[in-house]
Structure 1
Amino acid sequence: MPIGGARRNGTALTERQRIAWLRLIRSDNVGPATFRDLVNHFGSAEAALEALPELSRRGGAGGQFRVASVAAAEREFEAAHRFGAVFVGIGETDYPPALKEIDGAPPLLAMKGNLQAASRPSLGIVGSRNASASGAKFAAMIARDAGAAGYAITSGLARGIDTAAHRASLGTGTIAALAGGLDRPYPPENIGLLQEITAGEGLAISEMPFGWEPRARDFPRRNRLVAGISLGVAIVEAASRSGSLITARYAADFGRLVFAVPGSPLDPRCHGTNDLLKQGAIVTTSTADVLEGLAPLSRDDLFSRLNAREPAVEPAPSGPPATATLGEGGRALVVEALGPTPVEIDDIIRHTGLAASEVHLVLLELDLAGQLCRHGANLVSLAPPQ
């Protein structure tokens, strides 16, 4: 049986739930981690939506809190339909199985193309936008060979290495992660490539709203998607301050394999990859290096178990909401325990002596009011003064 051949048994969102999920993730100050905590605490996105204004007020928000409207969510669904795209939730069958394992995975992805590409084990390939001819050739070789071995090739649709990897895997399946909305691909010269991807065996994905023009700060989120979808990421030519190194860092944080292609120390495009090798990345001089590294992670039995670990679509609340019992004194204890330095939430719970549900509630209030920063790995800090 080919690697990752088994299909998952996902739980489908109802249309009403899908609207509520989109409204919640599009509301002010609600990111993936906040979305998860809100749904866990209140039991559903609909219940969380009703609580948002009061939560943000208690967290110290000054102005009116914007909750995304039903009409706005319906307009985005209509835009997706016209574009030939769908929204897939984290508990559903076509959600990429490796991505759902990361901390703060997007609750909803806009997807267009061959949805089955998302269910296959994936190799990420990224690198320099101003790639050398030999670098682009090597990236294409890895993409072509890994695609033939059953892997979907994931990249960021950028110029250079990304483009070479996508083109070489058009026939076997490639996933393009976008920094903007699905209808706003970047760079413009790759619009034709994106159309080839979605018309064939490939797939385009984005967590951003339709119509969203990508900004500089959106590209690291795109890189995070590439790393999260993939079992391993191959870096081919990356300068010392390259965005590809951000992808490598995310991959390492997620427990993914990092492959790096060595290059001349005289070529600035190779300084970043050579540094990755010094830090322990897997030396990659052939496709065999990549396939041998990925093989233990992509065995059919192991990948099928990964597929089977479905999060609940609407998880039941762990207990009654703590809103009625938490006083200002308890809220002050949580705020006092926070500072500019990231701290583990479990340490806040131990330090304050409050129930976990009460601490999480205060953190939600602060988050929605723009007073909290989340750093991943269960770390939080106070946001710097505006």
Structure 2
Amino acid sequence: MKAVLRPPLSWHAARRWVPLAALLAALCTALPAQALRIKEVAAVQGVRSNQLTGYGLVVGLDGTGDQTTQMPFTTQAMSNYLQQMGISLPPEMASRLQLKNVATVIVTAQLPAFAQPGQTIDVNVSSMGNSKSLKGGTLIATPLRGADGEIYALAQGNLVVGGAGASAGGSKVQINHLSAGRIPQGAQVERAVPTPLHDGDSITLGLNASDFQTARRVAQAINARLGAGQAMALDGRTVQVRAPTLPGARVNFIADLEELQIETAAPSAKVVINARTGSVVLNQAVTLGPCAIAHGNLSITISSTPVISQPGAFSQGQTVVAQKSDIQIRQEPGNILQIPASPQLADVVRALNTLGATPQDLLAILQAIKAAGALNAELEVI
């Protein structure tokens, strides 16, 4: 057994942890395996979306655009746009432009699989300068490029900004975010992305999570429905399936294939810890071996009191302010808690709840239990 020394929390903090532990125990009780469709655990490789991005200008702002003295690329972008429209400005005049109603933005979009020219997609618009608000602005024609540098869509339209704000006399009130917006159906697809869906005499299914048991069950379900030898699990992530070569027949084949049901395997025991928020999530496969935990308390209090030294009359001295610090250290003895073996998640949560620790303290306790070999689960910190 291994003892772990951690500071306990107050009774009120421990009481706040009790409902959370009870909720975890109620929600995470072991559930029997359930049937899922193949489309819920795997996807056809090659059928994917593509990310698009572009650099553009938003005009029509009510004096909330970029401050061009600090954002010179806004002036340059506007000069380039005017030049494309046939308006050329002398360099000295272009450098003195004060464009309070213009803001430079980054436009992003997601091009779905099989998107064809003429179809529309949604775009997100985010300010890249010091614009105060994009509300009421209009995005002018902005080409959206893929990772290969080619133009796949053209975005333009009026922004929808889900926020509001007002300021006066040095006071400011703002609701939600004003420097980002969205244009529904704001981009038109100009080029289609070829997919390898109809290449070869087989398709490959990629599992959402790497698991050999799930890959085997997917192959078994396909072979049971279509005949032996139709599907083969290549590894814990991919399953190769023989498919018709005609486009229409292959589409029907994939549609029927995705509706096949499989029995999902029990997940591997895992504890996920969010070190930033202190959240701890355990799945139903987590078990706990017998162990002993020492839980103590150490508090350090530092207080400062100002001390003023006043000079005597007619001494022409100066008043001096000093700080007097008082440091107190208090340490309470820790109690050793004997935790028995816990075969179910409800028992694990109940055993950890007896420590009276908050999730923040539970992070270190779980790591120490894992290091001692008493936690039968994979520990993942995100």
| TM-score (norm. length: structure 1) | 0.21
Higher strand proportion (structure 1 or 2): 2
| TM-score (norm. length: structure 2) | 0.21
Higher helix proportion (structure 1 or 2): 1
